[in-house]
Amino acid sequence: MNRVSRRQFLTTSAGIAGILAAGVPPARGQQREISYLCWNNFAPNSDKKLAEIGQRFTKDTGIKLKIDHVSHMGPQQSKYASEVQTQAGHDLVEMRMHFPWLYEPQLVDVSDVVTELEKKYGKALGSSYEGAHVNGVWRAVPQYHGMFVATYREDLFKQASLKVPDTWEDLYTVGKELKKMGHPVGIPISQNYDSISTAGPVLWSFGGMEVDKDGKTVRINSPATVQMIEWYKKMFRDCMEPEVLSWSDASNNESIQQGKAGWIHNPVSAYIVAKQRKLVTADGINHHRSLGGPSGRHETDTPRHIGIWKFSKNVEPAKEWIRYLLGKREVYDEYIMSGDAFNLPTYEKLQDHPVLRTDPKYAALRGEGVQYHTYGWPAPPSDKVQLITNTYLLPNMIAKAVTGTSTKDSIAWAETEMKKVLAG
């Protein structure tokens, strides 16, 4: 048996006595660390600012923060699924749209944090409420929202004396001219979110819907959907290029930045990146409101939230990070400003935010009278609605129709698939 020296005994005893007296573990045990998985922001400076704020958070709180980024399409969804399946991974995750509904059983109740934020900033916008308030409980904290507007080459429109469109039919008229000029309309018809972000407003503007307000009845097979499909067919034929069938979410941005597309439907990120990279197209790009149809003007909103996995062993430090990023007005302002109007504040009292006055080309983002919705409207948000989104049924239906399947058969296919999702 090893004997303990007097020096060793005194050192150890003093240490234990100190711990007992203080009631806290030693410094090494106090080290707290959290990890945050978020997507690659389309406004790149926002990611840099987030890292900078994270470093300050660590300095101010002693909580080490590790931020990881992932592409927001398939890789993000796969990562969520993997972490839930293994019950291991990050403490916090950035979620968009209805993902909190899809992962409700796996997410911590963060109603306390949201209540604090709403006292300070006013109620969260309806789109954030739809996405993150699940069965009476906030399963994620509203972070910001991104609004879809029309991004167009104002210089080309002036050159050809084209009228800025107000309806989807107007877009067909100017789209034909743009294509003749070598600058086609760039609306993706492929498996990505931007495809849905345009297909939804077009469908709603013609009076259609995927699922009824009861959340149970599939309504995609309707005269309004026929009108929507026929509009897409003539747009694809006369105003667009076949490449839109294979586009990613970034493709329409790149097309207008590189000087090809004359009109796209997108948040202001295409312009932001063109401006930051000093591309020659930046000066000619401008924005206008999303378009209307026989049943009004309906716009897509894409709220983002921050959720905390239930398997996290660091729930309180994770909440502390959210309060630091979103709850400190000066920090939240700093974060919003870094996104250059791509990350819009999602609380009522912050709607007239200074970021909207940093550039006159953001005027279209001032949302007076806006009827914007999340995917699946008017069906109430649910995991099933998110699954219809995740399986890209709406753009797949359109792709079938514009590539030769009859309108009737394309809609019937979508109806069958949507019913399967709701039945599952």
Classified as helix, coil or strand, 37 is strand
Nearest to 283 by CA among 163, 179, 156, 183: 156
**What is residue 16's predicted lDDT score, i.e. its pLDDT?**
42
Q: Is 136 left (phi over 0), alpha (psi -120 to 50) or beta?
A: left
Sequence-distant contacts of 213-217: CB under 8 A, at least 24 apart: 213/378, 213/379, 213/380, 214/379, 215/379, 215/380, 215/382, 215/384, 215/385, 216/422
pTM for the whole structure: 0.80
Mean pLDDT of 96-121: 94
- Residue 370's CB is within 10 A of a number of other CB atoms, namely 15
Q: What is the C-alpha to C-alpha distance for residues 64 and 57, in angstroms, rounded to an integer?
A: 8
CA distances from 37 to 50, 109, 378, 412 (A): 12, 18, 30, 39
Residue 302 DSSP label: E
**What is residue 368's predicted lDDT score, i.e. its pLDDT?**
58
Classified as helix, coil or strand, 114 is helix
- Residue 1's CB is within 10 A of a number of other CB atoms, namely 3
**pLDDT tens for each residue of 26-83:** 444 557 899 999 988 878 889 999 999 999 999 999 999 999 998 766 677 788 889 9
Spatial contact of 160 and 176, defined as CB atoms under 8 Å apart:
no
Q: What is the 3-state secondary structure (H, E, C) of 242-294?
A: HHHHHCCCCHHHHHHHCCCCCEEEECCHHHHHHHHCCCCCHHHEEEECCCEEC
**What is residue 4's predicted lDDT score, i.e. its pLDDT?**
39
pLDDT at position 300 over 60 = yes
Average pLDDT score over the chain: 89
